[in-house]
Structure 1
């Protein structure tokens, strides 16, 4: 399990300096570290190693799609979101084809943008409430879990059992030990449902074609 040890790094790329100033302040109020640039050349020359890139489609010296393609070619794995007034299907398709992960169209409120980024932060396992085990990420505040970026369809009680497996990673707790542990957090799980819930968790986390992460050999464990 790994916990975030540094601020989330965000690269904001937009030619409108007034807009970037306001957006930067809103993002920094969340405790995130923001670098703002205003051209494609500056974006490609940036060395801040961002976790998230908020990128306009139309820049004074090129297209946002070229920036994404250049970042991907250089090995960047940042989560790239286009923040642009270009809402046409063709533009969206071009953005995703270039390697973007999301698309947010203008106009938007600052609250909407911050909420959008906050979801990405949680999904990447960069929130203070994140719990990480390999490519499995839990957010204990939101009660949500992802594996390899895919949201897992878990109920709130199933999430709490999975959280306990993550907290006990490497151990082999029995079902009764898991139930007692979550009861210590004030969460009551009917004993008759536990085996079925753990089986659903295993199916959701392991999925099809993924390396097995949750097993039940000699006690439930997260390997």
Structure 2
């Protein structure tokens, strides 16, 4: 199916009714939509059609959503991924975030919320036209090019990781609660759960290594310290 004005979204979902509902609302929102029900076919479609975002069911038969996301990231493809899961298990969702997903929804979900979440991850991935560079401790981000460095080494971040790091280093020394970070970076509050912030901070620290400026403030949240 061809793309519309906002670009093509690939919906990977093996439950036809859910796929049709998601596609209908995404099209109403101005997106083109292509649907795949099979994991291996979906990965081939990502490489062929280069969608602007992927809505990816974790629980596919055969090649599941986590395997697809891992394969995309291993190939250097950082197209925004929004996981959909029927499993009410936090560890499943956190695993998805740790391998490079940008957001997740748990079934049953509102198709309007799905469309809003897709808009949010695309807004984050598109960056900002302002020419800005921020440094804090050993971390540096260039907001214009959406590039980040740990010391002198450039690192690869998901769009969510980049925005979280940028928000922290833009406010050096300021203690930011998990709810503040959810609102500022994800665009919504309690819906994601504050554990999501902890997972992304852990991923940032792993990528920044000894250059990470992020400090945990027990019982509150996080702060980026210059030294």
Query: TM-score band (shorter)?
Result: 0.5 to 0.7
Is contact 2:102–2:121 with CA below 8 Å preserved after alignment? Answer: no
Q: Deviations over 1:91-144 (max 9, x none)?
A: 123212322121111111111111211212222228xxx74656349xxxxxxx
**Is the CA contact (8 Å cut-off) linking 1:136 and 1:147 kept in structure 2?**
no
Residues 123, 149 of structure 1: alpha-carbon distance in 2 compared, 3 angstrom cutoff? same
Deviating more after overlay: 12-21 vs 94-103: 94-103
The CA distance in 1 between the partners of 2:9 and 2:61, in whole Å, is: 21
Kindly state the Cα deviation for residue 58 of structure 1 after the two structures are TM-superposed.
0.8
Q: Which runs of 5+ in 2 are unaligned?
A: 132-141, 146-159, 171-223
After superposition, the Cα gap between the structure-2 partners of 1:64 and 1:135, relative to the gap in structure 1 and judged at 3 Å, is same
* Residues 1:17 and 2:16 aligned together: yes
Distance in 2 of aligned mates of 1:61 and 1:147: 29
1:39-80 residue CA offsets vs partner (Å, 9 max, x unmatched): 111111111112211111111213211111111122211111
- TM-score, L = length of structure 1: 0.55
Greater Rg by CA? 1
Residue equivalent to 1:113:
114
Q: Could you tell me which residue of structure 1 aligns to residue 58 of structure 2?
A: 57
Counterpart for residue 149 of structure 1: 163
Q: TM-score, normalised by structure 2?
A: 0.54
Give the paired residue count.
141
Change (3 A) 1:78 1:12: same
Alignment of 1:1-223 (within 5 A): 7-46=6-45, 47-125=48-126, 131=129, 133=131, 135-136=143-144, 148-150=162-164, 152=167
Counterpart CA distance in 2 for 1:208 and 1:50 is: 37
SS at match of 2:92: helix
